[in-house]
Structure 1
């Protein structure tokens, strides 16, 4: 599933291709991808332009020259695609906008877990969905405050979008590997130094992933992503990587490096 770094890349892509062009047509092959009736999207997108984008975690907000903000969630396989010829519309481009310059914008969504919505403001959407500040912008003080009353596994907590918006499953595993913290370590048993080490690792993982356009093969050689598989070898200890379930999510860790 696209997480913070991937959605950051989609934001950059849209910023460089699709802003400041009047939308003249909207086509949707499956209206279940709309959180509101198609007529609402036609009303608030047609004859308007994408003005700017803003990202909070895995959500991308596209401000328009109209009254509404377009909200895009990419689900498991969603991604944007900008092209000139109608013939180049991708097979799974279930939603397509056409611009007055003759180009098109498609929302590819092979497994159809992504969706579009409209909101009056980003602040309203953030409050309604209980999102924290984007994990990239989150302060140490706010992070510590969010953890202060928690009494469960650290991995479950850092994947909570009200704590660190944008952190998903692979990022959580990487963050805990980089901070040497066991994924089932209870937050209420962690020291302030350990919590700060998780915060620092989160910032490191985010920046590395963004700098490398979320291409895992380009991550530093000590990153778990290179051997995030049961039975693979830990970079630091040579021990085997283990797989468990935490909060219903498949979790990979090094038992010798991330001692409980």
Structure 2
């Protein structure tokens, strides 16, 4: 599933291709991908321009010159693609905006878990859906405050979008590996110093993954993503990478490296 680094890349992509062009038409092959009916989408999108983007966690908010904001959630396999030849529409390009310059922005969504919505206000939407500040911008004070009432496994907590919006499964594993923290360590057992270290590491890992456009093969050699499979050799110790379930999610960690 696209997580914070991937969605940041999608934001940059939309910014560099699709802004400031008037939308001439909209097509959707499957209305189930729209949170409102297609007529409402066409009413508020056709004839206007996409004017700017903002990302909070895994959500992409696209402002328009009209009175609505477009929300994109990419689900498991979603991504945006900008192209000119209408015949080049991708096989799984279920939603398309066509611009006056002859180009199209398509929302590719192979497994159809992604969706679009229209909203009036980003902050109200954020509050309604219990989203924290984006994990990239999350202050240490707010992070500490969110953790102060939690008692369960740290991995489960940092994947909670009300705690650190944008942190998903693989990114949580990477952050905890770099911070040398066991994924099942209880928040209640973490010292203030360790929480501060976790926050600092989270920010560092986010920046590295964005810098490399979430291309896993380009991550630094000591990153877990290169060995994120059961039985692989830990980069730092002689132990093997272990796979367990935390919060119902497959979790990879190094038992000797990540202390509990």
Length-normalised TM-score, structure 1: 0.99
What corresponds to 2:228 in structure 1? Answer: 228
Gaps of 5+ in 1: none
C-alpha RMSD over aligned residues: 0.5
Q: What are the superposed Cα offsets for residues 142-170 of structure 1, whole Å, 9 maximum, x if unpaired?
A: 00000001110000000000000000000
Does structure 1 residue 4 correspond to structure 2 residue 4? yes
SS at match of 2:42: helix
* Residue 200 of structure 1, CA deviation: 1.0
Aligned-residue offset at 1:259: 2.3
Alignment correspondent of 1:253: 253
Give CA deviations for 1:13-40 in whole Å, capped at 9, x if unaligned.
0000000001011000000000111111
CA distance, structure 1, for counterparts of residue 259 and residue 142 of structure 2: 27
**Following TM superposition, where does structure 1 have runs of at least 4 consecutive aligned residues deviating by more than 3 angstroms?**
none
Q: Is 1:75 equivalent to 2:75 in the alignment?
A: yes
- Per the alignment, residue 133 of structure 2 pairs with 133
Match of 1:101 in 2: 101
Alignment of 1:160-199 (within 5 A): 160-199=160-199
Deviation at 1:213, TM superposition (A): 0.6
Is there any run of 5+ residues in structure 2 with no aligned partner, and where? none
Q: Structure 2 CA distance, aligned partners of 1:259 and 1:107?
A: 42
Q: String of CA shifts for 1:47-87, please: whole Å, max 9, x gaps.
A: 01000000000000000001010000000000000000101
Provide the secondary structure at the position in 2 that maps to 1:198: helix
The CA distance in 1 between the partners of 2:223 and 2:137, in whole Å, is 22
Q: Distance in 1 between matches of 2:239 and 2:232?
A: 8
| TM-superposed deviation, 1:198 | 1.0
The 1-side partners of 2:193 and 2:179 are apart by: 11
Partner residue, 2:36: 36
Alpha-carbon separation, structure 2, partners of 1:226 and 1:194: 25
SS of 1:107's equivalent in the other structure is strand
Corresponding residue for 1:87? 87
- TM-score scaled to structure 2, two decimals? 0.99
Whole-Å Cα distance in 1 between the matches of residues 78 and 88 of structure 2?
Answer: 17
Distance apart, 1:236 and its partner CA? 0.4
Matched, 1:111 2:111: yes
Quote how far apart the aligned CAs of 1:41 are: 0.4
- 1:231-242 counterparts in 2 under 5 A? 231-242=231-242
Instruction: Give, in whole Å, the separation in 2 of the partners of 1:171 and 1:196.
Output: 18
SS in 2 for 1:136: coil
